[in-house]
Amino acid sequence: MSERAAGSIYDLGYQRYEGKRLGRGHTFRALYLESLRSAFGFGRKTSSKVFPFGLLVVASFPAIVQIIIGTFSSGAGVNLELLAAEDYFEFISVVLALFCAAVAPELVGRDLRNRTLAIYFSRSMGRLDYSAAKLAAMVTAMMVITVGPLSLLFIGNGLVTNDLPAYISDEWGLILPILGSSLLASILIGSIGVAIASQTPRRMFGTIGILVPLLLLFTFTNIVYRSFDSNVSWIAIYLSPFTVIDGFTKWFFGGTPEFVIVLSSDEPMRIAYVLAALMITAVSSAVVVWRYERIDP
């Protein structure tokens, strides 16, 4: 450059932005929505949509099959129920685990890998909001695969009776348990997933990190339940998220949990499942928050 330029600064019309800024809530919502979108692979190549949507379809299989069978059986005047709503999660528990293991690393991995966290943390949002947005997005994603198939089952069963309004007015008592158990299951599995996935930038490690403990614990609790008296198995039952889910789901629907604890009165123990779920969720969320508070972006 010429020596003439050495001492002076050209006024090239650079302007600061002095206008309105939308603030923290808006930033939170923006991150939440973007995370949710990327969890399902929107805005990325098609192959990243395969797992979430594929698993969603697989999770809906039982409902679809039920509807098909129901269509035929109601024509024959027989009412055949393949799978009750309260047993649904137990049936698709592996799918739920796979979904969480596929989605959670996708959600938090990219920011860790590409070191974009610094950009997020320097906005009006802060670390706590980041953690909260990611957790919220994951829970919402899990809601899709929990409420989705259950709603499909519910509506499907209703359509099969050819009298949907009547079905709804008869069975409306199912709606609240469906929503409640889906919500609780989603926050439980979702928070565990994010807690584990946020530990590593590598997507594969996150996936394995979620699958291995879930599967190991699942096997462990199954063995305990198979081999010991039920007044012993209460220890193990709380170790696996899936038995916890089964517990409160059955409770919400008014049935009896598969892995049941025999005690003098059932009522207090049933709420233990909900408490366990909330406690595990609280611990997982704390892990996430702690992780992002401490991390060096």
Partner 1 sequence: MTTETGTAPVEVISASKWYGNVVAVNDISFELRPGITGLLGPNGAGKTTLLNMMAGFLRPSAGEVRVMGRAAWHNVEMYADIGLVPEREAVYPFLTGHEFVLLSAQLHGLPEPEHATRRALRAVEMTDAENRRTGGYSKGMKQRVKIAAAIVHDPDILLLDEPFNGADPRQRLQMMEMLQEMAAEGRTILFSSHILEEMERLGENVLVIVAGRLAASGDYREIRRLMTDRPHTFRLRTSDDRKFAGALLADESVTGLELGDEGLTVRTGAFSTFITVAPRIAKEQGVSILEIVPRDESLESVFEYLVSR
Partner 2 sequence: MTWVLFRLTMRELMGQRRAVLMGLFGLLPVLLAAIGLLFGVEDTGHSTQQFAADELLGVLVVGMLLPLVALIFGTAALGSEIEDGTAVYILAKPVARWKVIASKVGAAWVATSAIVLTSTIVSGLMILAGEEQQGIVPAFSVAILAGGLAYVTVFVLLTAMTGRALIIGLGYVFIWEGVLTVFAPGAQLFSIREYVLGIADWLSSTSRGDFEAELAATTSLMMMAVVIVVGFVLAVRRLRSFEAGEQA
- Provide the binding-site residues for partner 2, judged by CB under 8 A: 199, 204, 207-209, 211-213, 215-217, 219-220, 223-224, 226-229, 232, 235-236
Should residue 17 be labelled a site residue for partner 1 when binding is judged by CB under 8 A? Answer: no
Which of residues 4 and 45 has its CB atom nearest to partner 1 in the complex? Answer: 4
Select the binding partner of residue 45 from partner 2, partner 1, none (C-beta < 5 to 8 A, by kind).
none
Number of residues this chain uses to bind partner 1 (CB under 8 A): 8
CB of 265 to partner 1, least distance (A): 55
240 in helix, strand or coil?
coil
CA atoms in the 13 A half-sphere facing the CB of 60: 19
Residue 2 interacts with, from partner 2, partner 1, none (CB under 5-8 Å by kind): partner 1
Which of partner 1, partner 2, none does residue 267 bind (CB under 5 to 8 Å by kind)? Answer: none
Nearer to partner 2, 84 or 235 (CB): 235
HSE value, Cβ hemisphere, 13 Å, CA-based, for 249: 28
CB of residue 228 to partner 2, shortest distance in Å:
6
* 276 residue type, one letter: A
12 contact choice in partner 1, partner 2, none (CB below 5 to 8 Å, kind-dependent): partner 1
**Distance spanning both ends of the chain, measured CA to CA:** 37
The answer to whether residue 2 forms part of the interface with partner 1 (CB under 8 A) is: yes
Which two three-digit tokens encode residue 283?
């611990």
Question: For residue 286, what are its two tokens?
Answer: 């704390």
Closer to partner 1 by CB, 11 or 229: give it.
11
Cα distance between residue 245 and residue 119, in whole Å: 37
Specify the residue, 161 or 291, whose C-beta has the smaller distance to partner 2.
291
What, of partner 1, partner 2, none, does residue 226 touch, CB below 5 to 8 Å by kind? partner 2
Length of the chain counted residue by residue: 297
SS3 210: helix
What percentage of the chain's residues is helix, strand, coil (to nearest 5)? 75, 0, 25
Q: At closest approach, how far in Å is the CB of 127 from partner 2?
A: 21
Nearer to partner 1, 68 or 204 (CB): 204
- Least separation in angstroms between CB 200 and partner 1: 14
Work out how close the CB of 292 gets to partner 1 at its nearest, in angstroms, rounded to a whole number: 21
Instruction: Tell me whether residue 202 is exposed, middle or buried, using C-beta atoms within 10 angstroms of its C-beta: 0 to 12, 13 to 18, 19 or more.
Output: middle
DSSP-derived secondary structure for 38-107: HHTTTTS-THHHHHHHHHHHHHHHHHHHHHHHHHHHHHTT----SS-HHHHHHHTHHHHHHHHHHHHHHH
Closer residue to partner 2, CB minimum distance, 68 or 216:
216
Q: Shortest Cβ distance from residue 1 to partner 1 (Å)?
A: 6
Identify the DSSP state of 201: S
Chain contacts with partner 1 (rule: CB under 8 A): 1-2, 4-5, 10-13
